[in-house]
Amino acid sequence: MRNETLHLNRMMEACKRPASVLAIASGKGGVGKTNIAANLAICLAASGKKVVLFDADMSLGNLDVIMNFTSKYNISHVLNGQRSIEEVIHVGPDGLEIICGASGIEGLAELGEFQRRRLISELTKLQDQNDAIIIDTAAGISKSVVGFCLAADHTLVVTTPEATAITDAYAMIKVLAGHSFAGRISLLVNMAESIATGRKIHQQIASVARRFLNAEVDCAGVIVWDERLRRSVRMRKPVVLAYPNSRATCSIVALAAKLSKGMAVRADNEGFLRKIVNWFF
């Protein structure tokens, strides 16, 4: 019996694939990336997936604010050898693992070869041991943000119906297409007055991207404007937990279900962290 179990374990290990990496980006700031990342990660963890949420917003990262925890350590402590990756993980609801980025990744360029290798191997463990890694990026199209998006299997671009947000979301899609991004691009319209308005915005962006960039932009969904989401931020409790019956929660649950069905790892994704590190050199 023990032999059979061992055999089964080995078979399961062989079938195991690395975590699918989802980067959440926007162009314009304040469109809801951090709230979407946090709530989506909570939903996926609640569905039994092993999820890591990585705060890659080096300047204004506020995952800890939204999720109401204080993090003593971040990725920079792994970089300088003070802590192991396990020690900088904050465990959230349903075993969701959260890692704060701080200014660590920006400092990659100054690392020696030994430290870089150590970092890659530490972080590769995360990819091997989890089902999904969700990266909350900073606003804009800085080198660091673009690096995370290009290394991901899937980049979720968030916009609102505001004209400036739409223009900036398109600029982000253009940068990804310009770098021949091999992963999937999806658009999520947040703070829409209705699902129909949100869908229309997706159609417009997708058709311009198809025509001028030769890029396919999938529709990730629409999240309507919801006062309860604002209230949940003030309460420092993610909306899916604070208001499980709100319209925002319904949309986020639908998004999580859709993403978890289509969670794929790029055929060329030999290690997303290796790609990130290479991007900085």
Residues that bind Mg ion (CB under 5 A): 33-34
- Give the shortest CB-46-to-ligand ATP separation in angstroms: 20
User: Is 151 within 8 Å of 275 (Cβ atoms)?
Assistant: yes
**Which residues in 135-194 contact ligand ATP (CB under 6 A)?**
139, 190-191
- Give the shortest CB-136-to-Mg ion separation in angstroms: 6
Please tell me the distance from the alpha carbon of residue 84 to that of residue 89, in angstroms, as a whole number: 9
Count of positions on this chain that bind ligand ATP (CB under 6 A): 20
Q: Which is nearer to Mg ion, 33 or 116 (CB)?
A: 33
Using CB under 6 A as the binding rule, whether residue 30 contacts ligand ATP is answered as yes
Please tell me the distance from the alpha carbon of residue 227 to that of residue 216, in angstroms, as a whole number: 32
**Which residues in 32-91 contact ligand ATP (CB under 6 A)?**
32-35, 57, 60
Using CB under 6 A as the binding rule, whether residue 117 contacts ligand ATP is answered as no
Of the residues 225, 250, 275, 279, which one makes contact with ligand ATP according to CB under 6 A = 225
Residue nearest to Mg ion (CB): 34
User: Is 254 within 8 Å of 44 (Cβ atoms)?
Assistant: no
User: Is 211 within 8 Å of 181 (Cβ atoms)?
Assistant: no
Please tell me the distance from the alpha carbon of residue 243 to that of residue 144, in angstroms, as a whole number: 34
Using CB under 6 A as the binding rule, whether residue 10 contacts ligand ATP is answered as no
User: Is 53 within 8 Å of 41 (Cβ atoms)?
Assistant: yes
Q: Which residues contact 276 (CB under 8 A, 6 or more apart)?
A: 105, 147, 148, 151
Q: Which is nearer to ligand ATP, 127 or 190 (CB)?
A: 190
Please tell me the distance from the alpha carbon of residue 184 to that of residue 149, in angstroms, as a whole number: 10
68-76, 115-123, 227-235, 255-263 -> range binding ligand ATP (CB under 6 A): 227-235
Output the CA–CA distances (angstroms, integers) from residue 223 to 36, 124, 227, in the order listed.
Answer: 9, 33, 12
**Which residues in 235-254 contact ligand ATP (CB under 6 A)?**
248
- Give the shortest CB-182-to-ligand ATP separation in angstroms: 25
- Give the shortest CB-205-to-ligand ATP separation in angstroms: 17
User: Is 266 within 8 Å of 183 (Cβ atoms)?
Assistant: yes
Site residues (vs ligand ATP, CB under 6 A): 26, 29-35, 57, 60, 139, 190-191, 223, 225-226, 229-230, 233, 248
